[in-house]
Amino acid sequence: MVFQNDRNNDDNNNNCPNCGSNETESGDTHEHCSNCGIPRETLELDPGFVPTNPNPGAGADGELGGAIGPTNDPFYRRLDRLQRRTTHSGPDFIDGIVRELSDSEVGLVAVRAATRIIEAANVEENLGRKRHSLRGTPGISKDDDRQYRQRIYAAASLLILFKHRQENSVHSLIAEWQLAKNDVLKVKKMLWALVRSKLSWLTNANDDDVRARAQEITLYLTTLRDHLAAMEDRATAFVVYEAAQEIARQMGEPVSEGDVQLHTDNPVPTTDLPPGAAAGRAFFEAMMQLGLSREIIRELHAATGFFNLDSFVDRIGSQRRADDAGEEA
């Protein structure tokens, strides 16, 4: 409380016009007469709390946080570098991959799907910190090497989409960017391992038509196995059967529960074949790799009579004869 006294008795004094008292006290907004309480003079508004930084850092831009000035202390210099890295707001490695995808003109749908693959993989592992032994282009600059790696990731994510029957121009993009095929396949394999259990929309393993195809292929493989067991022996037949299952998967075919149906790396997708033809190719290829004679392959083909395999069996026979001639030479 503040009291003021004014002893002047002339007409220009500050006495209360209501009661004549010359004593006042400060309220929230006005000076009040201490005797009768009427408002006298208005007080200046309180500006409130206005924080200021008495020691702004060099180049401060008004954002929250502080800056470490020049120092020779190794600890604070390391702290300054750490702070700069953690507060850096420029485009990062993932932003560069997304930019390459956007600039590739593969289409908005493919860009969005590939971006989801990249972001999901980056959650599992920081892609910018991964260092691959990529072939790349010898002698390129650091910036060009960074762009090469970003394009490898962009192409690998598009290739994953292509493998899962989402058409895009990834193969022409690989050629345009002059990417090493082995680099793309290596990163694709790594990305797929990171995201295959995270992005359910990528897999078609639970689709009714995929599961039905897997059951049909398994039925044909089992028929071939049983006929071979009758011709040779049970142990040989089961070894060939297991090898044929793996070959079918490499062809992009579903064989058992949980398998997916993919595009193959071959120019002509084998997944367009009827199930019997796909199973026959895988089984006869397994027989050839395990050293069974072409006569047994022909005999098994004749016994089962699956369609669309005559030319394939003839080609296997020609290849075996060429291999035998090469060994004799």
114 and 184 fall within a common domain: yes
Edge-first strand order for the sheet with 39-42 is 24-26, 30-33, 39-42
Question: Quick check: is 296 in a domain?
Answer: yes
Question: Quick check: is 320 in a domain?
Answer: yes
Quick one: what percent of the chain has pLDDT higher than 90? 30
Q: What is the mean pLDDT of residues 113-138?
A: 81
Question: Quick check: is 22 in a domain?
Answer: yes
Res. 266 pLDDT band, cuts 50 70 90: very low
Nearest to residue 190, comparing CAs of 248, 243, 246, 126?
Answer: 126
| Domain final residue, candidates 181, 202, 223 | 202
Side chain identity at residue 139, one-letter code: G
192 and 247 fall within a common domain: no
| Domain final residue, candidates 179, 202, 225 | 202
238 and 274 fall within a common domain: yes
295 and 215 fall within a common domain: yes
Residue 270 contacts residue 262 (beta carbons within 8 Å): no
Question: Quick check: is 316 in a domain?
Answer: yes
212 and 195 fall within a common domain: no
Burial of residue 17 (CB within 10 Å: 0-12, 13-18, 19+) is exposed
Res. 289 pLDDT band, cuts 50 70 90: very high
The pTM of this model reads 0.45
Is pLDDT at 136 greater than 50 in this prediction? yes
260 and 184 fall within a common domain: no
35 and 132 fall within a common domain: no
Side chain identity at residue 138, one-letter code: P
Res. 153 pLDDT band, cuts 50 70 90: very high
Is pLDDT at 283 greater than 90 in this prediction? yes
Question: Quick check: is 4 in a domain?
Answer: yes
Question: Quick check: is 299 in a domain?
Answer: yes
* Greater pLDDT, 62 or 161: 161
Mean pLDDT across the chain: 79
Question: Quick check: is 161 in a domain?
Answer: yes
Is pLDDT at 7 greater than 50 in this prediction? no
Nearest to residue 157, comparing CAs of 197, 189, 114?
Answer: 114
Burial of residue 54 (CB within 10 Å: 0-12, 13-18, 19+) is exposed
pLDDT tens per residue, range 305-326: 888 888 898 887 666 555 554 4
- The CATH number of residue 182's host domain is 1.10.472
* Greater pLDDT, 160 or 141: 160
Is pLDDT at 206 greater than 70 in this prediction? no
Of the ranges 76-80, 200-204, 267-271, which is most confident?
76-80
Distance CA 187, CA 185 (A): 6
Distance CA 125, CA 94 (A): 12
- How many domains does the structure of the chain reveal? 3
104 and 181 fall within a common domain: yes
Is pLDDT at 270 greater than 50 in this prediction? no
197 and 268 fall within a common domain: no
Res. 6 pLDDT band, cuts 50 70 90: very low
186 and 256 fall within a common domain: no
184 and 212 fall within a common domain: no
Is pLDDT at 40 greater than 80 in this prediction? no
pLDDT, position 261: 75
Residue 163 contacts residue 263 (beta carbons within 8 Å): yes
Q: What angle do CA 142, 147, 148 make, to 5 degrees?
A: 95
Question: Quick check: is 7 in a domain?
Answer: yes
20 and 39 fall within a common domain: yes
**Structural domain of 293:** 208-328
| Domain final residue, candidates 143, 173, 202 | 202
pLDDT tens per residue, range 84-111: 766 666 678 899 999 999 998 888 888 9
**Strands, E assignment, 39-191:** 39-42
pLDDT tens per residue, range 57-83: 555 555 555 666 777 787 777 777 777
* Greater pLDDT, 76 or 267: 76
Lowest-confidence range among 3-17, 34-48, 81-95? Answer: 3-17
Nearest to residue 319, comparing CAs of 296, 285, 270, 290?
Answer: 285
pLDDT, position 197: 76
pLDDT tens per residue, range 115-127: 999 999 999 988 8
